[in-house]
Amino acid sequence: MLAINPFDQINPPHRLLMGPGPINADPRVLRAMSSQLIGQYDPAMTDYMNQVMELYRALFRTQNRWTMLIDGTSRAGIEAMLVSAIRPGDKVLVPVFGRFGHLLCEIARRCRAEVHTIEAPWGEVFSADRIEDAIKKVRPRLLLTVQGDTSTTMLQPLAELGDICRRHGVLFYTDATASFAGNELETDAWGLDAVSAGLQKCLGGPSGSSPITLSPQFEEIVRRRKCVEEGIRTVDHTDGDDEMIYSNYFDLGMIMDYWGPERLNHHTEATSMLFAARECARVILEEGLDNTIARHKLNGAAMLAGIQGMGLEVFGDIANKMNNVLGVVIPQGIHGEQVRQMMLNDFAIEIGTSFGPLQGKIWRIGTMGYNARKDCVLQTLAALEAVLNRLGFVSPHGEAMQAAWNIYDAEQN
């Protein structure tokens, strides 16, 4: 590649990012990020923090007081939830239907949980009954789910799980990183106790900030953990005697005291990322969350129609597909990586590869956030068809683009 002089000004190549994330950030978000810094206890800054809480309550569709940002990528949000809630020896149940389910297991094991799993073949999701049966058998303290697993493009239905968890006294968490703002998510109506997300998927921002929300019940659990005796920490919530949270950075008790009226010093809020998260939320709430979800649905449907029109097979159970990512089966005789390279080098378009059991078998194409747009979808389809034709794949002439166009035209009528 071209990076020769480390003193050159940074100037990344122009790319259209149509993979499973990250995607091109909305220019409004980039502009917000370039705003000047202010002190972390400046009233303007604490106002911004309060505004972020308010904006994300609207996006999560929750009344939860504790709706805030974890500084770090989406994994930081996941880790904060798990290390703060799981006590050593706690039983957790993880329905695994892709790579990110395995990540939840891995983090829960580090928290010394007793991890129980049920597994679905990649490309499928779980019925509520199957999850309830497992809950009855395992009797977990927490149910850890992934809403949209980009590794398989599947969306686990969550709407019925909250009632099941309530009936069995189980706390209900979901990693909504990939699905948030592109697919329906009702924190309160679905009885979710904890949800974490990230900016770099449907929210249209860069990675590096993880919006989270926790229910009063979840807060209770966290508050019961022992606090570390520390000079700067004056609020003591040690009414319980549960074992201490092993992480300082991800101690949600301390993070709540930092975002709450106490404003106890913890870390230095990642100001530029907070500006980004705030603008991501504003962009969506101006459009209207339902409209944003509908836009993801429309562009996802157009991409699907285009891919099928091209004569390609799509991966997994389409009835449970996320709106914003599509798995495309790499056709016989075509080398998947060669196609990705030609897409990148000749069209400056990035599409995604795959991991684990799907490696070399499917591409993953995203239509999310700022790139959930007609021009992005049509450009990607045109480029992909041209590349495949170049490599000897014969597609029904012109049908991909027309099929995608038809979806858009039908929407307008």
Ligand X SMILES: *Cc1c(COP(=O)(O)O)cnc(C)c1O
Judged by CB, which is closer to ligand X: 180, or 393?
Answer: 180
State the minimum distance, in angstroms, from the CB of residue 198 to ligand X: 4
Q: Which two tokens stand for residue 343?
A: 């897409």
Measured from the CB of residue 79, what is the shortest distance to ligand X in angstroms?
9
- Burial of residue 402 (CB within 10 Å: 0-12, 13-18, 19+) is middle
Between residues 177 and 183, which has the closer beta carbon with respect to ligand X? 177
Region class of 141: left (phi > 0), else alpha (psi between -120 and 50), else beta: alpha
Exposure string for 256-291, b = 16+ CB within 10 A, e = fewer: bbbbeeeebebeebbbbbbbbbbbbbebbeeeebee
Least Å distance, CB 118 to ligand X, is 18
Q: Which of 161, 162, 163, 158 is nearest to 176 (CA)?
A: 158
Shortest spacing between CB 78 and ligand X, in angstroms: 7
Instruction: Look up residue 108 and give its two tokens.
Output: 């829960």
Question: Cβ closer to ligand X: 293 or 388?
Answer: 293
DSSP 8-class letter at 124? -
- Specify the residue, 59 or 388, whose C-beta has the smaller distance to ligand X: 59
| Closest to 156 measured CA to CA, from 108, 119, 107, 114 | 119
CA nearest 2: which of 345, 351, 353? Answer: 345
Query: Quick one: angle between helices 252-259 and 216-223, nearest 10?
Result: 120
Least distance (Å) between residue 73 CB and ligand X: 3
Q: Smaller CB distance to ligand X: residue 32 or 107?
A: 107
Closer by beta carbon to ligand X, 203 or else 312: 203
Is the CB of 207 or the CB of 215 nearer to ligand X? 207
Q: Is beta strand 66-71 parallel, antiparallel or unpaired with respect to 209-214?
A: antiparallel
Q: How far is the CB of 195 from ligand X (least distance, A)?
A: 12
Q: Whole-number minimum distance, CB 230 to ligand X, in Å?
A: 28
DSSP state of 158: -
Instruction: Please list, in sequence order, all residues whose beta carbon lies within 8 angstroms of the beta carbon of residue 70, skipping any fewer than 6 positions away.
Output: 76, 77, 80, 196, 209, 210, 212, 250, 255
Q: How far is the CB of 150 from ligand X (least distance, A)?
A: 4
In the complex, what is the shortest distance from the CB of residue 146 to ligand X, in angstroms, rounded to a whole number? 5
Alpha carbons within 13 A on the beta-carbon side of 323: 22
Smallest separation (angstroms) from ligand X to the CB of 181: 13
Sign of the torsion formed by the C-alpha atoms of 142, 220, 62 and 324: negative
For binding to ligand X (CB under 6 A), which residues are involved? 21, 73-75, 100, 146, 149-150, 175, 177-178, 198, 207
374 Cβ contact list (under 8 Å, min separation 6): 299, 302, 408
Residue closer to ligand X by CB (options 102, 374) is 102
Strand stretches in 137-200, DSSP E: 142-146, 148-149, 154-155, 171-175, 194-196
Q: How far apart are CA 303 and CA 407, in angstroms?
A: 9
* Closer residue to ligand X (CB): 293 or 381: 293
Q: Which residues pair with 367 in a beta bridge?
A: none
Closest to ligand X by CB, 100 vs 258, is 100
Supply the minimum distance, in Å, between the C-beta of residue 153 and ligand X: 10
Which of 103, 245 has the CB closer to ligand X?
103
> Is residue 387 within 8 Å of residue 339, measured between CB atoms?
yes
